Amino acid sequence: MSQTPQILYCHCNYAQVVPKEVKEAVLRKLCESGVPFEAVADLCEMSARRDPALQRLTQGNAIKIAACYPRAVKWLFAAANAPLPLDRTEVVNMRAETADNVVASLLSMELKPNVPTGKVTASDAPAAETAQA
Amino acid sequence: MALADQSTLRIVLYEGAGATALAGEERFSVLSTLLGQGYAVTRAGSERAVAPADKSSVLVLGRFGAEKPETTTDSSGQVSVRFENLEDTAPEHVIAKVDGVRTTAGAVKQGDWKPWFPVIDYDRCTNCMQCLSFCLFGVYGVDGGQRIQVQNNDNCKTNCPACSRVCPEAAIMFPKYKAGPINGDVVSDKDLNREKMKIDISALLGGDVYHMLRERSEKAQSRFSKERDAEKALSERQKCLVKLAQSGDIPAEVLMSLPSPDEIARRAEEAKAKANAALAAQAPKT
C-alpha cells in the first residue's frame, strides 16, 4: 500500500465559517492537480449522524484533512467513533490559512501531524495562529 | 438520526482506463455540484490511495461512452456498484442522475439539517456536569461509565452556543461558531480566566436567567391580561431578551422559543437531578 497521505477535503456546506473563496479555490486547485482525493459535503453533519464513512476515511494511510481547527476535527471524528490516528493525521485549517497555503500543504508529500494531544492552550499554537488569535 | 444502520451512497468519480478524463474545470463543476447537494465524492486515481470500500452502495460516475459497465456487486457480493455515464456535466443533469441512483439504492438523503451541535473536547472535559445541568433541551446525557456525552444533537438550538459558555474548561465546541475557543481554536489564558469559575448561567448573565425570564413573562402576562395587547407584551419580552442575547451571544429567537416558565423550571430541575445523579455515581465510594 502506498505511503502517500490520503487527502480529505471538507466543503463545510452548511455554514459560512470557512471563507467561500478559500474553499472554492482549494477545491478548484485539487481538481486541476489531478490527484485522487476524498471530498465530503460537511464533516460536522457526518459526525452528527455517526456516518460510518468517517471510519472508512480513517482506516487507510496517513491522511491530510482540509477543514477547520485541528481540535474540532479531532473530536468530530471521535464523536462518530472514528478516532483519527494522531501520529498520521495533519489538519489544514481553511478558516485560518490562505488557499495557496492549504493546497501546498495538501499536495506536499511530507506529513506534519498536528492533531492535538492533551489540553490545547495558546502556548501550543504555531506562532502564526497565536498572532491571529 | 444515526446513519450506522442506514444505507448511504458513495460516489466515485472515475477517470482511469476505459473512461475519458474530464477537464479540470468540469471536474470542479461536478464536485461542487455534488458536494452542494450533500454527497461525498471520491476522486479516484492510481497516484494516491483513497479510502477503502465499506458497506455503502457505490455509484461510479465516468465518461464510459458505449463501454459503460453493467451494475455489479463487489467481491463480497454485498455492495452494489452502479455505473453512470457523465456525458453532460451541467449541474441539473448531474443532480438528476445521482438522485435517481440514490433513490433506487434506498440510500438516505443528507444535507437537510444545519449540523449545529456541541462537540466535547475530552482532553479538557472534567466531567463536572455543568452542561448537563444547564441544558434545557436534553442534548446531554451520560454513558454507562457516567461520562458526559452528547446524546441528542438534534435537540440543540441552531446558533446557540450557551452551554459552551457555562463550561469552566472551555471544553465544549461548536465547530461552526464564529469565534474561538468555541469554534475549536486554541484556548487562551484569557479564555480560561473568563471561564475557569464553576459558574452557572445565573452568574454568566448577571442574574438567574430562568428567574428573570419567569419574572418578565409573568409581568408580560399580567400586562397582557390588563391591556389585552399581545404585541406590547411580546415587545416587552423581546427587550428583556435582547440583553440576555447580547451578553451570552445567545440568539434571541432561541430565548424567545423557550418553553413556559413552569416548563423551564421543570426541565431545569430534571437536568440538575440527572447531573447530580451522575456526579454522585462517579464520586469515590467511602
pLDDT tens-digit series, residues B55-110: 778 999 999 988 888 888 777 777 788 999 998 899 999 999 999 999 988 888 87
- Give the percent of chain A with pLDDT over 90: 72
Provide the sign of the torsion angle of the four alpha carbons A71, A77, A81, A87, taken in this order.
Answer: negative
Q: In angstroms, rounded to a whole number, what is the distance separating the alpha carbons of residues B130 and B39?
A: 36
Per-residue pLDDT, B158: 87
DSSP secondary-structure letter at B70? P
* φ, ψ at B141 (rounded to 5°): -155, -170
Please name the member of B25, B48, B173 whose beta carbon is closest to the beta carbon of A6: B48
How many residues in total does chain A contain?
133
Work out the minimum CA distance from A34 to partner chain B, whole angstroms.
8
* φ, ψ at B41 (rounded to 5°): -130, 135
The predicted-structure confidence for A23-53, as pLDDT tens digits, reads as follows: 999 999 999 999 999 999 999 999 998 888 8
Per-residue pLDDT, B75: 73
DSSP secondary-structure letter at B160? -
Q: Give the largest Cα separation in chain B, rounded.
A: 79
Given a cut of 70, the residues of chain B with pLDDT beneath it are 1-5, 46-51, 53, 193-249, 252-253, 255-261, 264-265, 285-286
Looking at the complex, does the CB of residue B23 fall below 8 Å from at least one CB of chain A? no
**Three-class secondary structure of residue B286 per DSSP:** coil
Minimal Cα distance from A75: which residue of B? Answer: B121
Please determine, for the modelled complex, whether the ipTM score is greater than 0.85. yes
Q: In angstroms, rounded to a whole number, what is the distance separating the alpha carbons of residues A46 and B259?
A: 30
Size of interface A-B (CB pairs under 8 A): 211
Per-residue pLDDT, A53: 87
Q: CA angle A127-A63-B177, nearest 5°?
A: 55
**Three-class secondary structure of residue A73 per DSSP:** helix
Which residue type, as a one-letter code, is found at position B137?
Answer: F
**Three-class secondary structure of residue A7 per DSSP:** strand
Work out the minimum CA distance from A69 to partner chain B, whole angstroms.
6
